[in-house]
Amino acid sequence: MGCHSNAYVFVTDSSGSVWFTTTWGSGNGMWQSIGGVSTASPAAVSWNAPNLRLDIFVRGADGALWWKYYQNKAWYSWQSLGGKLAGGTGPAVASWSAGRLDVFVEGTTGALYHKWYSGATWSGWQNLGGKLTASPAATSPFTVGVIDVFVRGGNGAVWQKTRNVTAWSSWKSLGGKAAANTGPAVTSFYDLFVQGLNHQLWQTGYYGGRATWSTFNVEPEALSAASPGAVCTDANMHPLVAVSSTSGEIWWSVRDVLGHWDYWYSVGSPP
């Protein structure tokens, strides 16, 4: 994901429609529907284009990957990209430059699959192996050819796989323990979040191959059994994290310039 002064929050409602809203300071925008039929959490990314560009990916009712994008102040129609995602899991997406999209999903065998967009055409599916047990997360540090993917493995720990320009690394464990059926979230500056076994939010700053996990002291409400979402909010690397509560509301918090986490703010839920 890129860095923005405000964040776009995308969710799937109980009927499968995809909705979004924005965070603005301590407030928020209105919820808007972009339709579709999603059966798990959506994934979104924005690349650096002259005008705002948003790309949204979901697991459709047929289990395939579906794509919709916003450009030139208009939403384009949903398109199927095929494939078959594991039940209850959503995709992850990263972009290292304008016109480039890399999408990751858990396949029906539990392996990680990768599909990319070059600005004109989509590739076929690439099997990257592994054994996922929830939706993946992906990010790029604005370096061409570099992508990091994070997943919940079979032992509940967070695992990482990196593409360094031309080749993929082997899988590496970062430890931790994510709640069942929940995956990690990560920003483009490698702030990594998971929902722990105690239904609290855990975080780590992943730098230089090290991961030290710590928990938040303040929770908005009890967390629902859903993966968190995360994005950096500006060029100063301030991470914003969003979670879903058991009441169905979406809450977010951002880390300030002193390294402190702000209050939790609610953007409610789709009408």
* Residue 207 falls inside a structural domain: yes
Question: Which burial class, exposed, middle or buried, applies to 22 when counting CB atoms under 10 A from its CB (0-12, 13-18, 19+)?
Answer: middle
* Residue 73 falls inside a structural domain: yes
Which amino acid, 149?
Answer: V
Overall domain count for the chain? 1
- Residue 4 has a pLDDT of 47
DSSP 107-161: BTTS-EEEEEE-SS-B---EEEE---SS--EEE--S-TTEEEEEEE-TTS-EEEE
Query: Can you give the residue range of the structural domain that contains 42?
Result: 8-268
- Residue 208 has a pLDDT of 55
* Residue 1 falls inside a structural domain: no
- Residue 211 has a pLDDT of 63
DSSP 8-state assignment for residue 86? P
* Residue 235 falls inside a structural domain: yes
Q: Which of 72, 90, 73 is nearest to 36 (CA)?
A: 90
Q: Hey, is 261 helix, strand or coil?
A: strand
- Paired tokens of 5: 């002064």
- Beta carbons of 85 and 132 less than 8 angstroms apart: no
- Residue 2 has a pLDDT of 43
How far is residue 69 CA from its own chain's centroid? 16
Strands 191-195 and 201-205 come out as: antiparallel
* Residue 3 falls inside a structural domain: no
pLDDT in tens, the chain (271 residues): 344 456 899 999 999 999 999 886 545 668 999 999 999 999 999 987 667 899 999 999 999 999 999 998 999 999 999 999 999 999 999 999 999 999 999 999 999 999 999 989 999 999 999 999 999 999 998 789 999 999 999 999 999 999 998 899 999 999 989 999 999 999 988 889 999 888 788 888 765 555 677 776 555 667 787 899 999 876 556 889 999 988 888 998 888 777 778 788 888 999 8
* Residue 60 falls inside a structural domain: yes
DSSP 8-state assignment for residue 87? T
* Residue 181 falls inside a structural domain: yes
147 beta partners: 163
Radius of gyration of the chain, Cα coordinates, nearest whole angstrom: 17
140-161 pLDDT, tens digit each: 987 899 999 999 999 999 999 9
208 beta partners: none
How far apart are alpha carbons 164 and 169 in whole angstroms? Answer: 8
Residue 245 sits in a domain whose CATH number is 2.120.10.70
42-63 pLDDT, tens digit each: 999 998 766 789 999 999 999 9
Strands of the sheet with 239-244, listed across from one edge: 229-232, 239-244, 250-254, 265-268
* Residue 232 falls inside a structural domain: yes
Helix and strand tally (H, E) in the chain?
A: 0, 26
Q: SS3 sequence, 187-254?
A: CCCCEEEEEECCCCEEEEECECCECCCEECCCCCCCECCCCCEEEECCCCCCEEEEEEECCCCEEEEE
How far apart are alpha carbons 176 and 190 in whole angstroms? Answer: 15
